[in-house]
Amino acid sequence: MGNKNTVYLTQEGLDSLKKELDDLINIRRPENIQAIKEARSLGDLSENAEYDAARNEQAQIEARIKQLEKMLENVSIISEVNTDSVGIGNTVSIKYVDDDEEDEYMIVGSQEADPFESKISNESPIAQALFNHKVGDVVTVESPNGNYEIEIVEIK
């Protein structure tokens, strides 16, 4: 699926990154420049904690802007979601074969992964095991804690 630099995002994830980038460029960067100017006006830069803090924040802002711009250049939107077999963008209900416990996960790009929202990365062991399988398939998940089997109950 795509090259190694491809960033898979839902439309919601893309909108969120664009909003963050816009906020960094139009709000945080100008505020930071102002903070640097004010800290400079305090005089001696060698012992000026405000200046050091503002410069560190500037480096973080600029690094994040570059990172976001690079991601947005390589973005692939998850739109048409096929429910015949598991792929990125699907929500999958699974049953753990060992204990009959069920879970539901949405498979998203690594930038949007959020275990608390049941959004797992397309690079995670569970997603890797599920890819291209169909409802009813039992697949083996290779995990650092040992392999286990899950059954695909539903693909949305």
Give the residue range(s) of CATH 1.10.287.180 domains in the chain. 7-77
Q: Selecting from 3.30.499.10, 1.10.760.10, 1.10.287.180, 1.10.4080.10, what CATH number does the domain 7-77 have?
A: 1.10.287.180
Whole-model pTM? Answer: 0.71
> What are the Cα distances from residue 26, in Å, to 2, 11, 33, 58?
32, 22, 11, 13
Instruction: Report CA dihedral (26, 13, 111, 129) to the nearest 10 degrees.
Output: -170
CB atoms within 10 A of CB 8: 23
pLDDT single digits (tens) 49-71: 889 999 999 999 999 999 999 99
- Of 11, 156, 137, nearest to 91 (Cα)? 156
Tens of pLDDT, residues 88-130: 899 999 999 989 899 999 999 888 999 899 999 999 999 999 9
Treating both helix axes as pointing N-terminal to C-terminal, what angle do 29-40 and 49-73 enclose, rounded to 10 degrees? 160
CATH code given to domain 91-155: 3.10.50.30
H runs (alpha helix) in 5-111: 11-23, 29-40, 49-73
